[in-house]
Chains A and B, each alone.
Chain A
Amino acid sequence: MSDMAAHGTDARRLVDAERVVKNFRVGGMRGGHLVQAVSGVSLHIDRGETLAVVGESGCGKSTLGRLILRLLEPDSGVVRFEGRDLSALSATELLQARRRMQIIFQDPYASLNPRMSVYQIIAEPLVTHRVCKSKKETEARVKQLMAMAGIRPEHINRYPHQFSGGQRQRIGIARAIALNPSLIVCDEPVSALDVSIQAQILNLLYDLQREMGLTYLFISHDLSVVRYVSDRVCVMFLGKVCEVGNTEELFANPMHPYTAFLLEAAPKPDPHLRKEKKALLAGEMPSPVNPPDGCRFHTRCPYAMEICAQEEPELRPIEKRQVACHREG
């Protein structure tokens, strides 16, 4: 897929990440350990689509989201946004690019400054990027954004603590869309919310996507949410991509064993689908400090063969899917 972008043949492509690597050094004593958070991930996001990244805690999905926004610098690899290498941009160019990419965080309690009013929070990006010519114009735009995100206009001077979790998430969304971005990274945007509120926020994200032509990178551990919101899914395990494919096809027919276990494990809201014997994944997630050799999943994989412990499987195209498994292809 990287070839196509390199040749500049595909104008639909908004983000192109190529063999991105990010390690973190943790623990100060005698050099500490190296946590391999993202280990050579390649993926692309097309304009107007929603790409979901799923995986369990520690799989590197949030780090990947931050690398794509260049909130973190990759150790190696390239992230192209609108065809340009983000790490090659000058400070002014990066500032311009930043207008086009935004993020919504999981915890609406921690991601809003408690000392700023709703007006100040939503106006901040407008002021920083000098979008509005006058105070009056800024205020009008803030009110418009509040309406789009479903916040009552009379609450414009309230502070975050005066809102519920769902309302705060709406404020975060209003801030994210303020500059008419093309990409929004949604990092577990509904995980902290009750189901009835979760549905309201998912509907809002859906409406905004259609109205504004937004592209979402949707990071989540919740498979039912992912299935609902995304066009394509990328499944990650311990810093690596296991499988990428069209959402419906991937849910109907998972090819990578880890994807299959993940789908099986998720609790289904229908008692008739209960199983006496669920195929459970044995053991725990291996440590990203010391990942297994070969395929990183092989220590938990019931189908592991000799080669799986020795050689790391490449992400290969199979039909319309990409799968990193020695059994496939």
Chain B
Amino acid sequence: MGEGMTRAPEYGETLRIKNLRTHFFTRYGVAPAVDDVTITIPRKGIVGVVGESGCGKSVTALSVMRLVSRPGKIVSGKVLLDGEDLTAKSPREMRQIRGNKISMIFQEPMTSLNPVYTVGSQVAEAMVIHQGAGKKEARDRTVEMFRSVGIPEAEKRFGSYPHQLSGGLRQRVMIAMAMVCRPRLMIADEPTTALDVTIEAQILHQMKELERNMDTSIMLITHNMGVVAEICDYVYVMYAGRIMEQADIFSLFDHTMHPYTTGLLGSIPRSGRGGGRLYNIRGMVPSLLSLPKGCRFRPRCERAMPECAEHEPELYEAGRGHWVRCHLYRDSGGGETR
């Protein structure tokens, strides 16, 4: 499935997560939170990773950053940043990479900012540490970065403390902090989930602008199909630790294949109640400690067949660059993936 994403070669790729398995070794058993996941982030474009809580999308991001803590552990697989395997790096080397080559923004900006330092000094610090910038240079570039992420009165805001800013401004500061070292990759984990819609629209617009104007790839993790539809170019749909479907944004919405993706899109209320009840996926996400045999989505799937309980489907290429883990598409002509 490594070839799942067929992009024009001149774009190249920034990150390739290859057959990654991150498992949690709990008292009650092993939870395969990320189970053989392969994701490619090209140089240009925004890649979305979408799924419901517990699907493994955040653990995937934390694995890339090597921030998974016990009882979680990367069991196997590679995380290649510009061809270099991050899983083989020492903790010291990783500290050089985090915030410099890869940066991450989280859902709740208040908990990611230090309340006792001004936001400006926190952003400038990253540059001093990672790039040996002088104080003056760091300050100037921070103010410039504040402007480019749309913080009004950037000069004045340099000296503000986190509590003096609104949620939207704090998230902009986080984005400025993430972008100030011009990283190769920015991972945004639910960056707008805690924000109001008008602020969310501003932040999404800003991310799109950054992607266009800077040489940074973006991996966007979200549960919100609306956010995905607004700014992503390519999407991976995760469920219970697995990639279930991956496709170009238009292909995913226009030719939805996996019954889970169909269910996710169908559950979104789109219009008035004229149509009566909403479509819903029955049941709930299975516990990672007792996954069903065969396809992990089978107990909730309306189109399940006897073989779905027998063995788990591979990812099949059912359309150009459109891959789906479902027996319904086994004979779709794309052939096996590996």
* A residues in contact (CB < 8 Å) with B: 56-57, 164, 166-167, 194-200, 202-203, 206-207, 221, 223-225, 227-229, 247-248, 251, 261-262, 264-274, 278, 280-281, 283-285
- On whether the beta carbons of B268 and A224 are closer than 8 Å, the reply is yes
Does residue B8 face the partner (Cβ distance < 8 Å to A)? no
Contacts A/B (CB < 8 Å), 10 sampled: A56-B199, A197-B284, A198-B267, A202-B278, A203-B280, A224-B269, A227-B269, A228-B271, A267-B224, A269-B265
Indicate if the CB atoms of A268 and B196 lie closer than 8 Å: no
**B249 within 8 A of partner (CB):** yes
Q: Is the interface of A mostly helix, strand, loop or mixed?
A: helix
Cα separation A68 to B279 with both chains bound (whole Å): 32
- CB of A280 within 8 A of CB of B197, answer no
Q: Are A166 and B201 in contact, with the CB atoms below 8 A?
A: no
User: Beyond A196-B280, A272-B250, is A262–B226 a contact (Cβ under 8 Å)?
Assistant: no
Q: B185-210: contact bitstring with A at CB < 8 Å (1 yes, 0 no)?
A: 00000000000111111101100000
Of chain A, the residue at the smallest CB distance from B201 is A265
B277 pairs with A203, CB closer than 8 A: yes
Give the Cβ gap from B298 to chain A, nearest Cβ, in Å: 15
A164: which B residues are within 8 A, CB to CB?
284
**CB nearest neighbor in B for A247:** B272
Q: Residues of A contacting B270 with CB < 8 Å?
A: 224, 228, 269
| A-B interface, 9 closest residue pairs, ranked by CB to CB distance from nearest | A267-B226, A228-B269, A199-B280, A56-B196, A199-B267, A265-B201, A194-B52, A196-B281, A199-B278
Bound Cα distance A314, B281 (Å) = 45
In the bound complex, what is the Cα–Cα distance between A228 and B52 (angstroms)?
21
| B229 touches which of A223, A225, A268, A281 (Cβ 8 Å) | A268
With a cutoff of 8 Å between Cβ atoms, the chain A residues found around residue B269 in the complex are 199, 202, 224-225, 227-229
Nearest B residue to A164, CB-CB: B284
Q: Tell me whether A194 and B205 are in contact (CB under 8 A).
A: no
Contact A267 B200 (CB under 8 A): yes
What residues of chain B have their CB less than 8 Å away from a CB belonging to chain A?
52-53, 152, 166, 168-169, 196-202, 204-205, 223-227, 229-230, 249-250, 253, 263-273, 277-281, 284-285
- Give Cα A272 to B251, complex, Å: 11
Q: Which of A166, A194, A203 contacts B223 (CB 8 A)?
A: A194
Q: A196-B264, A266-B197 are in contact. Are A283 and B205 (CB under 8 A)?
A: no
How near does chain B come to A299, taking the closest CB pair, in angstroms? Answer: 13
Chain A residue contacts of B249, Cβ below 8 A: 271
B281 to A, closest residue via Cβ? A196
Name the contact of A166 in the complex, choosing from B169, B204, B284 (C-beta under 8 A).
B284
Contact B272 A280 (CB under 8 A): no
Interface pair B230/A274, CB less than 8 Å apart: yes
Q: Are A278 and B205 in contact (CB under 8 A)?
A: yes
* CB of A290 to closest CB in B, whole Å: 14
Give, as a whole number of angstroms, the nearest-CB distance from A245 to chain B.
Answer: 13
Once bound together, how far apart are the Cα atoms of A307 and B202, in whole Å?
Answer: 28
Q: Do A265 and B271 touch (CB < 8 A)? A: no
Contacts of B152 in A (CB 8 A): 283
Q: Cβ of B266: which chain A residues have Cβ within 8 Å of it?
A: 199
Q: Are A195 and B223 touching (Cβ within 8 A)? A: yes
Q: Assess whether A227 is in contact with B271, with CB atoms less than 8 Å apart.
A: yes
Q: B201–A269 contact, CB under 8 A?
A: no
Name the one of B197, B199, B253, B267 contacting A284, with C-beta atoms under 8 angstroms: B199
Contact A56–B278 (Cβ < 8 Å): no
Query: Closest chain A residue to B194 by CB distance?
Result: A57
- Find B196's partner among A197, A206, A221, A264 (CB 8 Å cutoff): A221
**Which of B200, B230, B270 counts the most A-chain CB atoms under 10 A from its CB?**
B230
13 additional A-B pairs beyond A262-B197, A269-B265, beta carbons within 8 Å, are A196-B52, A199-B266, A199-B280, A199-B281, A202-B269, A203-B278, A227-B269, A229-B269, A264-B201, A270-B229, A271-B250, A280-B198, A281-B201
Question: Whole-angstrom distance between the alpha carbons of A284 and B166 in the complex?
Answer: 8
Min CB–CB distance B109 → chain A (angstroms)? 14
CB-CB under 8 A for A196 and B263, given A202-B278, A228-B273, A229-B273:
yes
Task: Give complex CA distance A15, B273 in Å.
Answer: 23
Say whether A281 contacts B273, CB under 8 Å: no
Per the bound structure, the CA–CA distance linking A223 and B169 in Å amounts to: 23
B258 to chain A minimum Cβ distance, whole angstroms, is: 13
Across the interface, B279 reaches (CB within 8 A) one of A199, A261, A273, namely A199
